[in-house]
Structure 1
Amino acid sequence: MIKVNVHTDATGLQNDLPLNRISDTLHRSDSLLWVDLIAPTPDELRLVGQEFAFHPLAMEDAARRHQRPKLDHYDGFLLLVFYGLQTENGRPRTREVTLFAGKNYLVTVHDGSLPEIPETADRWCQNVANLGNRGVGLLVYSLLDALVDGYFPCIDELADRVEELETAIFKPGEAGEQAAIFALKKDLLAIRRVLGPERDVMNVLVRRDAPVFGVDGASVVVYFQDVYDHILRVTDAVDTYRDLLSSALDAHLSMTSFRLNEVVRRLTASSIILMSITLIAGIYGMNFEHMPELSWTFGYPFALGLMTAVAGALVVLFRRIHWL
């Protein structure tokens, strides 16, 4: 599906413009276009690529998903690959967005729905008349800022899960913490893999004056600095939670080893007590004819009492050394 929004000084904002009318406004100096391709077919991608004369390598990047976040400079436009973050079935999922930013247009390509894009489109439609020659730069900033801000709710959910796991590992009888920790570390690693390149992309936008955003591009850099700061915050949070999970995993393994040692000690103490009783029973169970206790009236109670006394003494001893 293709959505085309166009603003010109003469006609104002026009929504859902037909694709075949893009050429009429693309070359006007007062026009500003946003073309949004949602799960486009190969034919739709080809038509848009021909309309804007995009480089074949750029179109190849847009057609192939799971690209690394990057910023490529082409003749007349920038190619930007960025990622949003959504929670799906309790797990964070990255969502790829490809941006073509030209002098007076922005083309976005993505699979499925991203709530940040229609929200940004609504804000743009309300303020497009006031953007002036910074229109594309501010539009790119608004979209990237919305995508990065979408990371924070997911990161907060992950933080809650980390806290729950930290509490669970110290509760006896809990099972499955190790698998949960590894799954959460995998989720954080997937987020970290896109944050690193995205930080590099924003570093380029902040430190270099991009003429594709117009003669007033220097003032747009200030806005990109805000996005850059947000990415740093998310990156620091992800790194912190990864460290906490590593510490939690170490603590979990230590607690598991400690509990195992506790069980082994108790079993060892119980075995020693039973072995002592068995030793006494074995002595009196031997088929010897001349044993004084056999003809003694209190021989049987004496044997039972001896077993009880030895067992009791061992129990007291093991409790003093905290084996029971």
Structure 2
Amino acid sequence: MINAYTVENGQMLLREGVTDDVALRRAVWIDLLNPSQAEERAVQDALRIEVPTREEMQEIESSSRLYKEGEDLFLTANFLYGMEAGEFGSTAITYVLTGTTLVTVRYATPKAFPMFAARCQKVPALLSSADGVMLHLFEQIVDRLADILERLGLDMDRASSEAFRAARKGLKANQRDDSLKSALVTLGQVGEITTRGSETLLGLSRILTFIGAEKGTAIRKENQPTIKTLVRDVRSLVEHANFLNNRANFLLDAVLGIINVEQNSIIKTFTVVSVALMPPTLIASIYGMNFQHMPELEWSFGYPLAIMLMIATAVLPVLYFKRKGWL
């Protein structure tokens, strides 16, 4: 699908599915979402560029992701998407920057894209130049990542509170297990999202370094301060993502430690019960033997004596364990 954005009479104009050469050349931003071969050819013929295929976008070497052909820049990085649907992942997005047009090629929709399109509807000046569109789009992505990291921090606070509250208070076993399980799931998601967010920030950092060193005409001089601001913002988010990741690992170890303590307590209880029942079992086994000459069988008080002996041998180990502080 082709979405072509331009400004006419001070208003943003969006043309969907356009393949006309003139309309494509006039567009400031061409957004290709799951493009067909015909759509790719239309953009290539109109702008005289080579649109990377999906397979080429998946290549990980730097020379295949960041390069220049003539005066056109080809920039590819992985970006986080799908947070709202709960099925998050990373997708490669390519930015092709020519002197007059920005072409984005993507096969998923990070929320920053529709948010930026909505901003352009309100502030058409954001579409004043191709390099400005790209940098403003990067700003939207960085703002979106900042919001995600803030939400992850709140999720970790909630998971931490639930886990330690379950450990402190005398909750029922099923309630405690549910709290610990919820904390584990939350911390696992935090670790996965921060990892993918760090991947996005790493890709942005490489792109900004590449275009910051670019001496051609693709990036106008007046946009250089924006690049420096983005570099600082990305660096701060990388540090915050690393902090969240380290904190998630610490909390994960703490929750697993709580679970281990609970399991050890259960195992200790079973061990004490097993030890306490061993002497009564031995006594019952002895008097269960079928020897002919067993004097105790003829005693009138033999049965109650055996019962009392089994009770005593079961209680004594328990009292001993309590005295040692093992219970």
What TM-score comes out, normalization by structure 2 length? 0.76
**Match of 1:259, as an amino acid?**
E
Shift, 1:254, TM fit = 3.3
**Match of 1:33, as an amino acid?**
V
Separation (CA, whole Å) in 1 of partners of 2:181 and 2:105: 40
Counterparts in 2 of 1:71 and 1:206: CA distance versus 1, 3 Å: same
Q: Deviations over 1:138-164 (max 9, x none)?
A: 222111111221223333443344445
40, 51, 54: which one aligns with 2:35: 40
**Other-structure match for 1:90:** 86
Q: Deviations over 1:259-316 (max 9, x none)?
A: 333233222221221111122334444536363x555544433332232222222221
Shift, 1:220, TM fit = 1.3
**Match of 1:5, as an amino acid?**
Y
Question: Which is further off, 190-199 or 61-70?
Answer: 61-70
Tell me the number of residue pairs that the alignment of Structure 1 and Structure 2 aligns.
Answer: 307
**Other-structure match for 1:149:** 143
* 1:84 and 1:97 in contact (8 A); partners too: no
* 2:126 and 2:132 in contact (8 A); partners too: no
**Match of 2:52, as an amino acid?**
E
Q: Deviations over 1:154-201 (max 9, x none)?
A: 334433444454456554434756676555534433333332232122
Shift, 1:233, TM fit = 3.2
- 1:137 lines up with 2:141 in the alignment: no
**Match of 2:130, as an amino acid?**
V
131, 153, 156: which one aligns with 1:159: 153
Counterparts in 2 of 1:243 and 1:136: CA distance versus 1, 3 Å: same
**Other-structure match for 1:192:** 198
**Other-structure match for 1:270:** 273
Q: Deviations over 1:220-263 (max 9, x none)?
A: 12112222233223322332232233333433443344333323
Q: Deviations over 1:31-61 (max 9, x none)?
A: x72223333221111121121111x4xx225
**Match of 1:267, as an amino acid?**
F
Separation (CA, whole Å) in 1 of partners of 2:121 and 2:185: 47
Counterparts in 2 of 1:304 and 1:99: CA distance versus 1, 3 Å: same
- 1:255 lines up with 2:258 in the alignment: yes
Ranges in structure 1 where 5+ consecutive residues have no aligned partner: 27-31
Counterparts in 2 of 1:120 and 1:308: CA distance versus 1, 3 Å: closer
298, 319, 322: which one aligns with 1:319: 322
**Match of 2:116, as an amino acid?**
T
Q: SS of the counterpart of 2:76?
A: strand
Separation (CA, whole Å) in 2 of partners of 1:124 and 1:269: 70
- 1:289 lines up with 2:283 in the alignment: no
Counterparts in 2 of 1:300 and 1:63: CA distance versus 1, 3 Å: closer
**Other-structure match for 1:117:** 113
**Other-structure match for 2:4:** 4
Task: Give the % identical residues.
Answer: 21
* 1:124 and 1:139 in contact (8 A); partners too: no
Counterparts in 2 of 1:208 and 1:65: CA distance versus 1, 3 Å: closer
299, 302, 307: which one aligns with 1:304: 307
Separation (CA, whole Å) in 1 of partners of 2:313 and 2:197: 62
Separation (CA, whole Å) in 2 of partners of 1:14 and 1:300: 98
Ranges in structure 2 where 5+ consecutive residues have no aligned partner: 167-175
- 1:50 lines up with 2:45 in the alignment: yes
**Other-structure match for 2:248:** 245
**Match of 2:142, as an amino acid?**
V
What TM-score comes out, normalization by structure 1 length? 0.76
Shift, 1:62, TM fit = 6.4
Separation (CA, whole Å) in 1 of partners of 2:127 and 2:57: 32
* 1:85 and 1:147 in contact (8 A); partners too: no
Counterparts in 2 of 1:164 and 1:210: CA distance versus 1, 3 Å: farther
Counterparts in 2 of 1:153 and 1:7: CA distance versus 1, 3 Å: closer
Aligned-CA RMSD value = 3.6
54, 75, 79: which one aligns with 2:70: 75
Equivalent residue runs for 1:175-186 within 5 Å: 176=181, 181-182=187-188, 184-186=190-192
Shift, 1:13, TM fit = 5.4
